[in-house]
Each structure stands twice: as structure tokens, then as C-alpha cells.
Structure 1
Amino acid sequence: METALIILAAGKGTRMKSDRPKVLHELAGAPLLHHAMRAGSALSPARIVIVAGHEAEAVKASALSLDPDAQTALQTEQLGTGHAVLQARTALEGFEGDVIVMFADTPFVSPQTLQAMARARRDHAVVVLGFEAADPARYGRLLMQGDTLERIVEFKDASPDERAITLCNSGVVAADAKTLFDLLDDVTNDNAAGEYYLTDIVGLARARGLSATTVICDEAETLGVNSRADLAAAEAAFQTKARADLLEAGVTMTAPDTVFLSLDTAIGPDTTIEPNVVFAPGVTVENGAVIRAFSHLEGTHISSGAVIGPYARLRPGAEIAEGAKVGNFVEIKNAEIASGAKVNHLTYIGDASIGENANIGAGVVTCNYDGVSKHRTEIGARAFIGSSTMLVAPVKVGDEAMTASGSVITSDVPEGDLALGRARQTNKPGLARKLFARLRAAKKD
């Protein structure tokens, strides 16, 4: 049976106090919307429909950046969750499989939970994701008779006895497409909020003799993000779990609470991560690497046995090969550092390739930008680049070539050659003392 996803992402999120749509605020380096899409992707959905409203074009662009096949449906008026789901009907025309309705501002529903809902759908017309709430507060309540879900009652419409129930509604629903839209056609807005509730389909299904049930997940999976405080709490929850998962997978972190990870961070076992390291989006670290303290990594691949930092910055396009070393106060951008190469201190390497076992001295800069375009620098295997060398790209330094410290290199250096690109030193006898005396006298005046 094929599955489709409907992800509701139309709300403005006024409590965020932002011009940006709530679902595009970032959690662990990725928009909230992407968290829901990635979780749903575990079902290998045949179609994904994002129901957008506020700043719909921005929401659409974000969805397409993750999944170019995602479709967008527009909800011009926010008239409730049932109304929102109906907006996806056209996009799912002709689809005869199951549909799971998710919420873009509920980022922690796990793939395993969605798979459990898909399995439960084999035996029931409607499946609702529920959770036992420590504080039920204003959640909708799930009214059960044994394993059968009879109906969902919203807090505003619940009686005192119903409000005492602790089994609550997450909002996530599964049903086959035809049943879902047929039931939604009968939903009315005769309630305290005057909205069309998706939750009403349960009672309507039972009235038609259709079965409904509940899959129960941990309450932590149902955390919704409605404010900046919620977003901060979600970030803390994500980081705590992600760090624990890495420790369990064989990664050493000497101060886990100071390491920050992104949604797509991938780190192999036997890697050591020192304190105060930030993994921005797009980082993969293979087994046995060492990431030293106060380093910031983004869009980077680090191979086994490489050593990064401390105080290193790796930017998008950095490719660090096995056994390479990138040291303190080194910035790498869009560059390949080959196996065994060393870039140990106070250096900028951008738009470049560094050959095997090459050594890059302190203060080296690849001058890659002419004010209009970027240009590449190529440094060969076992080359030695002297400290404070300025490599004015485009330029090539051959295998086993060398540049003298303080050189400005503007032409290619053939294999095995030594390049000197600096003015000859001249000493002026006694001039330093005379100059100091003059300056001190001027200062007294």
C-alpha cells in the first residue's frame, strides 16, 4: 500500500514575533518543516503535500530544497486543521493509498512512530497518534473503549470528566485517502472555536461503523513549537538526545553539553570531540578523527584519522583526507586537503587543493578573490609552503616544490623548484636609533 504525507504548515505563528513563517525557524540547523519531512521520508511516501498559507512561496521553496518532488497546496484562510487537510485534495487526486497527516511545527515525531501508525492502518480505518500527558492542559482528549478510539474531544468542548483524561491527541492522523476526504466533507464548524477540526473524523468514522484506534508514543515526540521559548526548549531536547545517541554509538565527547549538532550531522565511532565544538549543517566525520576544542564545522567531510583544530573553521566544500591535520586558527573553504597534509596554524586556504603530505606554513593565504571572481590554487604532493606566503590565484605549485617565507607567488612554481617572491633586504646602519629618538622627541612636544 502506497503512502502519502500531508504536512500542515500554513500558520503564521504570531507568538514567534517574527516576519518569518514559524515552520521556517530553524531547529538543529534545519527548518522545522524539514524535520517533519525527514521523519516522514522513512515511509518512502509516493507523494508529499505541504499545506502552506503565510509566506507560502518561502515555505514552498524550503520544501523543494529538501525534496524537489514535494507539492504545495494553499490554505488562504486558517479555518482549522480539517479545512487545511482538505486543501491537499487536488494534489492527491487519483491517489488510492494511505495518508498520514503531520504538523510542521511538531518536529520530533519519530520515523518508528510513523511506521507503527502505518502498520495499525492495516486493521483500522483511522489511526490517531496519542500520548499520556504529564500535564494534559489544553490538549484534546482521546476517548477510548478498550482498543477502540470512540472520539476526540477538544479541551474547549470537553466536560469536567473528559478533561480528567490524560490520554491526549497529538494531531497526527492516518487513514486511506478516500476515507479521509469523505469524512472531512462531513465535518462542520459547530464548536466553541468555530473551526473545522480534523479530529472530528474519528467520531464520524465510528458513526459509520468504521474502526479507529490509537498508537501511543512518548510525550517528548509530540513537543510543539509555538514560541521562541518553545524553540529553545526543542533545541535543548534535540541536542540532549543527539549527544546521547553519539555516545551510545561509540563517539567520545569530553564535555558533551558544550558540543552542538545539526539534524544531518554524521559522526563515526572512535571519533573524539573536545569541548565547545559546533557542527553546522552538512558535516560528516569518519571513524577515528579528532575534533579539537572551539572548532566550527559546516558543509565538510572529514576522513578517518584526521585531526582538526583547536580553533579551526571548516566552511562548505572543505574535504579533509585521511591523516590530514588542520590546526589552530586555520580556515578552510571549498578546498581539498589530501592525506597526510598539514595546515597547522594561522592560515586561510580557499578554492584550493593541497597534495599528499604537503606542509603549509603559518600565515599562508590563498588569495582566491580578485573582487569579481574566485580562482583556484593547486599545491602538489610533498610541497613546502613557507610561512607568510601569499599565493595569488590562479597559481600552481608543483610536487616537492617550495616557496620561501614571506613570498608573494604570482606565477606557477614547477615541480621541485624553489620560488622566492620578495624584495632583497637592505639594512640602514644606525637609522633605527635615530628614528626612535626623533619620534620620542616629537611625542614630548
Structure 2
Amino acid sequence: MLDLKLMQKTPDLVRESLKKRGSKIDVQEFLTLDERRKSLIAEGETLKAERNAAGPEIAKCKKSGQDASALLARMAEVSERVKTLDAELTEVETAERDWLMSVPNMPHESVPVGASEADNPVVRSWGEKPVMDFEPKEHWELGTALGGLDFERAAKLAGSRFALSFGWCARLERALAQFMLDTQTTLHGYTEVIPPYIVNRRTMTGTGQLPKFEEDLFKLEGVDSFLIPTAEVPLTNIYAGEVIDEAALPVKFCAHTPCFRSEAGSYGKDTKGLIRLHQFHKVEMVNFAHPDTSYEALEAMTAAAEKILQLLGIHYRVIELCTGDMGFGATKTYDIEVWLPGQNQYREISSCSNCGDFQARRADIRFRSPGSKKNQYVHTLNGSGLAVGRCLVAVMENGQRADGSIVIPDALKPYMGGLEVVEAK
């Protein structure tokens, strides 16, 4: 959520920010509400001052036996008007907050201006595309042929966009998750967390999934709770409504959780395979950072995600999202795209974002500096470290051989009980 004072003092700055994002939100709507709010407050304060001044006058009239009926009648009118003004003020303040909750974050000044993903510049790349002297297969062909994936039976159990993994494939996905957790905790200082997979509306609102993106969520029937779309939601809200000591910053958490998404806006996209499922697993990183160092923290978080692919020996590239392609809560984002030979294209495998104080304002997360009387909002960052299912896809497609077998990366062999190659039985 944007700073109310920022909106009031520099509306043109917000208007320009929304323009860069391609948003059609009307800043004038807020300004009209704010003028009405100020008018209501001014009139209410004037009437309350009149009412306060009339109190002694009424008492004086009664004491001296004078007729105070006219003054009493006026005060009745004033009280009724104050009650009306207070009710309208509550409505206007609620409308203002709702408007602020609907506005996306402001892009950092370093973010390239653009309209869509076509305008995202490549920042760097690592490794080389594998050279294969055969026609590479896509992961669902490999996995099905080797008995590790079954999409038809998954559809029987749950419907479309679900998968069943068996044997080597289930173990490989588990190995990837364990490898990611070990890397992020050991090399990069993240503390592992097992959070709830079901959260309430307030928690979803704190990170920005609500109210704007409710159709993308799975809501539990009969209660106002939701399945998490990412561990970012519970991890970021751990400190909701709290004040963190400045000396404790940065606080870095990571978690391996299932993620549940309705994919409401992706009808017809990626209907095959593991790329876009209703249920998938991800290792998520969250950082509560000091505002002075949060952009350095974003670079470090992105590097931590890249390290996984480097250790697996898989080619990838890093792109910086332009203003028109960034997520709702982000002020700056890097996407990591891994090369998939079977699909002959790059696919996003991680997205690392600095949200500035946007989420902290929504969830009321602050920090306390020694000697300072006023608490400040922290900056929150989140990033995939990595999407486990998509990493499984990358391992399968990049490690495939002409006979359809799959070579296990060296970094994963300790997690695979010595298995080096997945072959047809």
C-alpha cells in the first residue's frame, strides 16, 4: 500500500508511476475523496467547537432561570449533524483506504520503462545451451516413458492441471527441494520455516493477494481462509503488526511448501506437463531488510537463487522486468529463466522482488532504531529459490540422452541414494 501522505502531497508523482505501469487507475478519484474527507473534518470540528462552547452557556441559562430552549434546539441540530458527518467520514476514509489498496507499487527509478515482457532487458546469463545431436524430448514425454509421471490418473483423481509422480521422479523432486533448502540455509544464511498452508483474509491482504487477486486463489468453503499460493504469504506476515529491533535486520526465512493457484487467467496456456499446475512445490525466500540496504539485498537474493542452477550446471539468463510487466507489489524485480531444450525456449524458474515498504504498510511491519522515537517500516523482499517442479523439468530436459534416459546432476547424487542415470526398466 502506498503512503497516504505521499498521495496527498505528490499526486503527480503517483500519476506518473501508474502511467509507467500502464495502469488506468484514476488518481483524481483519490483526490476528490481526500478533499471531501478534509471538508467533513473541518465542518465537524467547527460544529464540535460550537457544541463545546454552548455547554457552559446552557448551564449559565439554567442557573439564572433564563430560557435555553433555542440553544438546546440548536445543539440538538448540531449533534445530529455531527453524527451524520462522522458516519460519512468513516465511509470516505474506508473508500480512501480501499483505493490505496487497489494501487500497485511505484517502480524504482532504475526500472526500465516498458509495456510488456517484450521490453524486459537481459541482465546476464550463465552457462551454455546443451548441444544435443538428437531431437530433444519434452519433460512429459520423458517422464511418462520412464514411468515417473502420470497425468491421466492425476486427472482422474483431481481434474486437469495436476500430476502424479512415482519412484525416481518423486524422489528427484524431493531431492531438489532438500538441495535447495540446504543451499539457502547453509550458504546464504536463511532460516528454514514450516509455515501454515492455510491462511486468513488478513494475511492474504498483507502481501497484496487480496482484495485484487481473489479469483486466483483457492478459498475454503464455509470459512474466510485460503490455501497459500506461495510461502511468501505466511512468511512475510510472520511479523504482521509487530516491531522488529533494528539490530535484528535483516531477517531471512526460507520454506518448502506446496502452492495452490487457480490459474484463472491462464486458460489454454501450458496445458501439458508440469509448467502450470494448480498444485506445485516451491522453495521460497523472504527477507525483512533495512530500507538503506534493501536493493543490495535484492541482488544477493537473486544471486542465491542463481546459485542453485549453477550448482546443477543448467544454463539460464536473468532479466529485469520493465514497469509494465512487474507484479502488483514489486518496486523492482529480476526473473531467472532456465533453458529447456525439449521446449526450445526459456522458462521462468524464479522471480525475485523488492517490495519496498508496500507490504509492510499493509501488514504493519516496522522496525525500531535506538534513540529514535518513531518506528519505520521495513522493506520486504521475496524470491523463489527455486520453483521445484520447474527445476525438475529443467533437470529432465537438460539431462536427457538420445535413448530417453536422464543423467542426474552431480549435486543431486547424494540425495538420490547413488542413482546416477534414470533408465527405462
TM range (shorter): under 0.3
Of structures 1 and 2, the larger Rg is shown by 1
Q: Comparing both structures, which one devotes a greater share of its residues to strand?
A: 1
Q: Comparing both structures, which one devotes a greater share of its residues to helix?
A: 2
Superposition TM-score, scaled by structure 2 size: 0.25
Q: Which has the higher contact order (CA 8 A, sep 6+)?
A: 2
Superposition TM-score, scaled by structure 1 size: 0.24
